[in-house]
Amino acid sequence: MNVLEIRNLTKKFGDFIAVDNINLSVAEGEIFGFLGANGAGKSTTINMIASLLRATRGEIELLGRNIAKHNKFAKMNIGIVPQDLAIYEDMTAYENVSFFAGLYGLRGSLLHERTEEALQFVGLGDKHRSFPRNFSGGMKRRLNIACAIAHRPKLIIMDEPTVGIDPQSRNYILNSVRKLNDMGCTIIYTSHYMEEVEEICTRIAIVDHGKIIADGTKEQLKSTITDTKDIWIGVKSAESLKVDSLRNVQGVTAVRMDEQILKINSKTEVNNLNDIIQKLIRDRVEIRSVEEQEPSLETVFLTLTGRNLRD
């Protein structure tokens, strides 16, 4: 069953079209990534999913129910980690989490239990009584996450949760995203950090100018622009090399010698590095380095949109 189903979603601000007729579905258990430059419409879409903005046109269904009609149901089942920190600096960490969880109707011992659980989860279990104003950027981000997950939502939306934090906290956050996913949460993740999206997302949509240009797994996205990769092998001397024997290796489409580097172009889906190297050894070629060059998501984005992610 699809956790989220978006149909013909459009948002206009005056005559500026921020989100332009988006169709999308997110299945249960996915970590769905929204990839796009600043101003591409990611946050607008997310705010509409979270009912913070009213759509100009189109429908959003959460677990099969229209969120405009089942507002309370939608709110109970969505947890949002907003781009801008939403925590109170002069309340303790514990008070912050229990305040937000309380908004979802948790009371008494259950509230206490879930608050503890959420704080433990983000690694702030020993910071109950501390005030966020003394926290580092990463800790504030983690507290922000704890506030969003204490009521155990089915769908967690994270809008750029790793902006401006140290690498350690970043790893911690990425790990907790995976852990939440393992626990059965579906996650929507937006970022303009390509590596993060590439690392954790099971499916990715590339958004530009309010439209979804392509979506799929990262392999599918990469295959939209090419199905070959370059293998660069540094060799000492290639006089004894029989180039034709390399051309016969399965998957190889082109072989070229460039200075001291043997440049081989090969199909992405074929794993033929072993065969290639075996042939080189048999021909007594001395190998100095081996490098595989596959297109990154950054390249995919650049090729499809003609723009860099961080303009």
Partner 1 sequence: MELWTIGNKAGLLLYVILASYFSAEATDNRLLLAYLIYLCLNIAIPIFRDNLLRRLLATLSAAFIIYCALWLNPLFILLLPVNLYEWTDYGRLHRGIAFLLMLVPLFLAPWSVIPSYALAVSLSYLFYAANRSHTASLQRLDDERESLRLNQQRLQRTISENDEFMRQSAYTIKLEERNRLSQQIHDEIGHSMAGALIQMEASRRLLDANKEKAAELLGNAISISKEGLERIRLTLKDMKPRSEELGINRLRLFVDELASRQGMTATLTHEGDMDRITSIQWKVIQQNATEAATNSFKYSEATAIRIHVQVLNRFIKAVVSDNGKGAEKIVKGLGIIGMEERTAALNGTVIVDGTQGFSVTTLMPLGAEGENVHPTESEYSHGEG
253, 260, 278, 289: which one binds partner 1 (CB under 8 A)? 253
- Cα four-point dihedral sign 29, 19, 42, 306: positive
Q: Does 25 bind partner 1 (CB under 8 A)?
A: no
46, 213, 255, 309: which one binds partner 1 (CB under 8 A)? 213
| Phi/psi at 218 (5° precision) | -65, -30
Helix (H, G, I), strand (E, B) or coil at 156: strand
Q: CA nearest 154: which of 51, 64, 76, 72? A: 76
Q: CA nearest 187: which of 170, 169, 200, 168? A: 200
244, 258, 259, 311: which one binds partner 1 (CB under 8 A)? 311
CA distances from 241 to 48, 59, 264, 301 (A): 61, 62, 13, 38
Closest separation in Å from C-beta 243 to partner 1 = 16
Q: Does 227 bind partner 1 (CB under 8 A)?
A: yes
Closest separation in Å from C-beta 164 to partner 1 = 25
92, 224, 272, 296: which one binds partner 1 (CB under 8 A)? 224
Q: Which is nearer to partner 1, 51 or 226 (CB)?
A: 226
209, 242, 263, 279: which one binds partner 1 (CB under 8 A)? 209
Please, are residues 37 and 192 in contact by the beta-carbon 8 Å criterion?
A: yes
Stretch in the footprint of partner 1 (CB under 8 A) among 14-22, 84-92, 233-241, 271-279? 14-22
Q: Which is nearer to partner 1, 152 or 222 (CB)?
A: 222
1, 16, 129, 258: which one binds partner 1 (CB under 8 A)? 16
Helix (H, G, I), strand (E, B) or coil at 9: strand
25, 92, 226, 272: which one binds partner 1 (CB under 8 A)? 226
Q: Does 223 bind partner 1 (CB under 8 A)?
A: yes
Longest Cα–Cα distance in the chain? 79
26, 119, 173, 214: which one binds partner 1 (CB under 8 A)? 214
Closest separation in Å from C-beta 225 to partner 1 = 4
Q: Does 304 bind partner 1 (CB under 8 A)?
A: yes
154, 211, 242, 279: which one binds partner 1 (CB under 8 A)? 211
What gap in Å lies between CA 38 and CA 9, rounded to an integer? Answer: 19
Q: CA nearest 270: which of 216, 227, 217, 220? A: 227
By CB under 8 A, how many residues form the interface with partner 1? Answer: 24
Q: CA nearest 192: which of 311, 18, 294, 79? A: 311
What gap in Å lies between CA 228 and CA 265, rounded to an integer? Answer: 7
Q: Which is nearer to partner 1, 76 or 304 (CB)?
A: 304
Q: CA nearest 99: which of 118, 82, 125? A: 118
Residue 47 exposure: Cα atoms within 13 Å on the Cβ side: 15
144, 170, 228, 297: which one binds partner 1 (CB under 8 A)? 228
Contact code string over 258-287 relative to partner 1, x by CB under 8 A: -------x----------------------
What gap in Å lies between CA 204 and CA 188, rounded to an integer? Answer: 10
Site for partner 1 in 53-72 (CB under 8 A): none
Q: How many CB atoms lie within 10 A of CB 273?
A: 16
Q: Which two tokens stand for residue 248?
A: 């016969």
Q: Which is nearer to partner 1, 45 or 181 (CB)?
A: 45
Sites of contact with partner 1 (CB under 8 A): 15-17, 208-209, 211-214, 223-228, 253-254, 265, 303-307, 311
